[in-house]
């Protein structure tokens, strides 16, 4: 694999603007190569000492600051070094000692090379400072955790006994050296650093990131005096953050206007704190791995690009330049490697019972491997689906079911709504599989955006396999139902025939809620959790998966109504009489309204919750949009049940207003398009899909499919199609529109993360330190 491709694949997509512009530097090298090929060989007196000192942008001679430490200036092509600026920031600059006939392309190359290196170096330095600050917070959290463990273990002990236990526990829990890939220690790390339970931060850090060495006596003194201090003193200043949100805790938080709780020193409380800190350490470790990869890939890119320059120009610029890289912050700092090693040691000791294999497995979960059997079964089930579709069409044609008006109408009224539920689900899953495929192709980090646990997220093959399996089950039961109705041998078992769709639904629900670790349990439970949080809105803090799930439900109104029809058809015994009298019941019509507005009401409450917490007016406007859509849905349902010209006019007007608002919001707010001042006219400044026409086609399709819902108001009749089939087709068009919306909405979310360099998940820490004297948090 070429390095250019590997560099692109290994890039942290949210930080892509901070990486060295490797392709841009390669283009400049090509220009240099073309110039070298065109120019005629120039002759110079051998041993000529005539050198022209040129300075690039911001490259001015600063005396001793740029004095080369790599040897005699006359024997090298460049002189690279660092310059201290007035703002106390250190920049790396290059003086090029070149012949008089050198091209301007080389000047541009080194100018860009300096700019890129300073950009990468400053970004890396800022990110290291962020993780060091976070490591300091984790250090304090470990103080409280160790103290809490001791207090829970000895709740009735006196202060002196607690201190004694604390000293013995700290001594017993000294970190042993763990053999890991990061065990190559730098000279600046002492054995004291190894032995401290969570010594993540040293305030005596030098300006270039090197730590001061600690003496062995100081290390022993620190341990013997109790690094963490007396447990009662620590716990007196600590409260528990209420990060595990429940509807009851949300109500209590609103009433008490506080999200903090006093320590109760119970084992259950300790277990919850350990779980939260375990997640925090795992996420912190992943950040460090990303920073390590950022460091390695950029240094390798600079090394390769300067060597390519030497190969093209036959100069000797790589040696002094690479020495400068080695002495720069990104080339010499070792804080990330030290933190990786110490986090591993701390995690193994305190959260894995000193089991290195178990600890490293938790810290470094393996990505899901692509399995050949998934591809095989996906293809097999797809073939079965096509065969069953053909078989279903042949059965309908051979038995003249379409010509039997009475029997056909009865089937469409009774059985079609039952089976259409599975058709809607299968179509939605197929589109989701397609979305995942294109998200991965265009490097949209959907795993991070949806907060999927690494190694448990489903790929497009797995989702397609599930949808194909459900399609086979649905078609098989539909064919079995038709065959049982038409076969003379089963005429006496018509009640059992009607129970076939219910049996399929029970099987589907049983698989969905199955507690055993089969059929992607983590993904099933994640889906159930999101559904529950959507139903309980606004009692839960709105996360992006909840927001996304509620939007998907707004496109599945007919599927939700099909579930209501299941309850009515089987609950009131209509299946035994083979008659559909659901709409004659007031309770059914009442819930016919309710189930239609549940998804919109959920999104409306989510918007209110976000408006209350974030104080952004855009959430209020978004909530108003959903409320208008909710009103339109109520009026359309009222017209469907009561008819009448007045209801029809009100439904048409409300639907037109809601559809216009939703279309504008989809394109402008959710997709970030229609920016007439952007460099991509009427689109965004940044696009992931290389073909701009795709975005214009997507906008046109979204508008057309949005207004397809107007058919439910005007009730356009399609010849030879039952009205329930028309409703199902319109709902399928809405599902297609949602699949189209999903890709561009998540693309916009991803680009927002890229613009803000957000590549990490924010994990709330369990403890909150509180200063009793000042009454403020530390």
For 51-101, the DSSP string reads: -EEEE-TT----GGGG--SSS-GGGSSEEEEEEE-TTS-EEEEEEEEE-TT
Name the strand (E) or helix (H) holding 769. Answer: strand 767-771
For residues 410-418, give the mean pLDDT.
84
Q: How far apart are the first and last CA of the chain?
A: 50
Task: Show the tokens assigned to 673.
Answer: 């398009």
- pLDDT score at 71: 46
CA distance 735 to 756: 32
Q: Which long-range contacts (CB under 8 A, 24 or more apart) does 385-389 make?
A: 385/468, 385/471, 385/472, 385/475, 388/471, 388/472, 388/475, 388/476, 388/479, 389/475
pLDDT higher than 90, residue 720? no
- pLDDT score at 357: 87
Question: Highest-confidence range of 339-343, 404-408, 422-426, by mean pLDDT?
Answer: 422-426
- pLDDT score at 174: 37
More confident residue, 63 or 586: 586
Cis peptide before 724 (omega within 30 of 0): no
Sequence-separated (6 or more) residues with CB below 8 Å from residue 82: 65, 90, 91, 92, 93, 324, 328
- pLDDT score at 572: 86
DSSP string, 654-720: HHHHHHHHHHHIIIIIIS---BTTSSSTTB-S--SSS-HHHHHHHHHHHHHHHHGGGHHHH----TT
pLDDT higher than 50, residue 170? no
CA distance 424 to 38: 64
Maximum distance among all Cα pairs of the chain, rounded to whole angstroms? 110
Whole-prediction pTM: 0.82
- pLDDT score at 1: 61
- pLDDT score at 190: 34
- pLDDT score at 472: 96
- pLDDT score at 743: 96
pLDDT higher than 60, residue 404? yes
- pLDDT score at 69: 43
Question: Highest-confidence range of 312-316, 325-329, 457-461, 773-777, by mean pLDDT?
Answer: 457-461
CA distance 197 to 201: 12
CA distance 468 to 383: 9
pLDDT higher than 70, residue 162? no
Categorize the per-residue pLDDT at 547 as very low, low, confident or very high, splitting at 50, 70 and 90. very high
More confident residue, 238 or 675: 675
Helix, strand, or coil (residue 233)? helix
Sheet strands side by side (includes 260-261): 260-261, 238-241, 767-771, 776-777
For residues 458-463, give the mean pLDDT.
93
CA distance 344 to 78: 42
Sequence-separated (6 or more) residues with CB below 8 Å from residue 582: 565, 568, 569, 572, 574, 588
pLDDT higher than 90, residue 759? no
């Amino acid at each position: 694999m070429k390095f250019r491709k590997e560099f692109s694949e290994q890039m942290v997509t949210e930080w892509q603007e901070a990486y060295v512009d490797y392709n841009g530097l390669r283009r400049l090298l090509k220009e240099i190569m073309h110039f070298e090929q065109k120019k005629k060989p120039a002759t110079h007196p051998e041993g000529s000492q005539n050198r022209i000192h040129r300075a690039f942008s911001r490259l001015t001679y600063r005396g001793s600051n740029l004095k080369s430490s790599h040897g005699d200036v006359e024997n090298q092509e460049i002189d690279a070094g660092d310059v201290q600026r007035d703002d106390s920031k250190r920049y790396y600059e290059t003086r090029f000692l070149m012949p008089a006939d050198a091209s301007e392309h080389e000047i541009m190359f080194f100018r860009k090379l300096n700019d890129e290196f300073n950009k990468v170096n400053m970004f890396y330095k800022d990110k290291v400072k962020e993780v060091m600050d976070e490591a300091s917070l984790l250090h304090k959290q470990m103080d409280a955790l160790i103290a809490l463990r001791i207090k829970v273990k000895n709740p009735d002990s006196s202060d002196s006994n607690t201190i004694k236990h604390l000293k013995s526990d700290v001594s017993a829990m000294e970190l042993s050296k763990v053999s890991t890939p990061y065990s190559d220690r730098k000279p600046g790390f002492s054995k004291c650093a190894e032995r401290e339970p969570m010594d993540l931060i040293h305030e005596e850090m030098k300006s270039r990131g090197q730590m001061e060495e600690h003496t062995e006596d100081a290390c022993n003194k620190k341990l013997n005096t109790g690094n963490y201090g007396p447990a009662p003193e620590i716990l007196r200043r600590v409260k528990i953050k209420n990060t595990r949100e429940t509807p009851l805790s949300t109500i209590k938080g609103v009433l008490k206007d506080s999200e903090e709780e006093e320590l109760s020193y119970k084992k259950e409380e300790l277990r919850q704190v350990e779980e939260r800190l375990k997640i925090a350490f795992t996420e912190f470790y992943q950040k460090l791995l990303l920073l390590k990869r950022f460091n390695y890939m950029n240094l390798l890119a600079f090394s390769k690009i300067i060597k390519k320059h030497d190969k093209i120009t036959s100069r000797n610029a790589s040696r002094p330049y690479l020495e400068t890289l080695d002495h720069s912050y990104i080339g010499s700092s070792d804080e990330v490697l030290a933190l990786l090693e110490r986090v591993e040691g701390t995690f193994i000791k305190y959260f894995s019972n000193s089991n290195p294999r178990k600890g490293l497995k938790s810290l470094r979960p393996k990505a899901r491997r692509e399995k050949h059997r998934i591809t095989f079964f996906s293809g097999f089930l797809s073939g079965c689906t096509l065969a069953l579709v053909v078989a279903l069409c042949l059965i309908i044609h051979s038995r003249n079911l379409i010509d039997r008006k009475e029997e056909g109408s009865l089937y469409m009224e009774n059985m079609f709504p039952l089976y259409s539920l599975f058709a809607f689900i299968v179509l939605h899953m197929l589109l989701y599989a397609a979305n995942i495929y294109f998200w991965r192709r265009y490097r949209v980090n959907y795993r991070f955006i949806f907060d999927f646990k690494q190694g448990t997220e489903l790929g497009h093959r797995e989702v397609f396999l599930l949808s194909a399996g459900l399609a086979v089950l649905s078609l098989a039961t539909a064919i079995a139902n038709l065959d049982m109705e038409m076969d003379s041998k089963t005429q006496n078992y018509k009640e059992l025939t009607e129970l076939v769709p219910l049996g399929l639904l029970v099987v589907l629900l049983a698989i969905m809620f199955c507690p055993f670790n089969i059929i992607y349990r983590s993904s099933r439970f994640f889906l159930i959790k999101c559904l529950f949080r959507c139903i309980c809105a606004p009692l839960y803090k709105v996360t992006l998966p909840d927001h996304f799930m509620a939007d998907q439900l707004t496109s599945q109104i007919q599927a939700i109504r099909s579930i209501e029809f299941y309850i009515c058809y089987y609950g009131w015994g209509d299946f035994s009489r083979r008659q559909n009298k659901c709409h004659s019941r007031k309770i059914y019509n009442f819930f016919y309204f309710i189930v239609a507005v549940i998804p919109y009401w959920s999104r409306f409450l989510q918007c209110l919750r976000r408006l209350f917490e974030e104080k952004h007016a855009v959430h209020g406007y978004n909530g108003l949009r959903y409320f208008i859509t909710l009103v339109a849905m109520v009026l359309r349902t009222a017209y469907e049940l009561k008819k009448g010209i007045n209801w029809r006019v009100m439904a048409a007007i409300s639907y037109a207003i809601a559809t216009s608002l939703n279309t504008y919001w989809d394109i402008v707010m959710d997709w970030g398009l229609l920016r007439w001042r952007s460099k991509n006219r009427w689109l965004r400044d940044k696009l992931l899909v290389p073909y701009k026409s795709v975005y214009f086609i997507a906008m046109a399709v979204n508008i057309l499919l949005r207004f397809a819902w107007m058919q439910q108001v005007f009730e356009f009749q399609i010849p030879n199609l039952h009205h329930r089939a028309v409703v199902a087709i319109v709902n399928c068009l809405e599902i297609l529109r949602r699949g189209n919306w999903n890709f561009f909405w998540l693309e916009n979310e991803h680009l927002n993360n890229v613009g803000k360099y957000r590549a990490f998940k924010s994990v709330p820490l369990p403890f909150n330190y509180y200063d009793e004297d000042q009454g403020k948090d530390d």
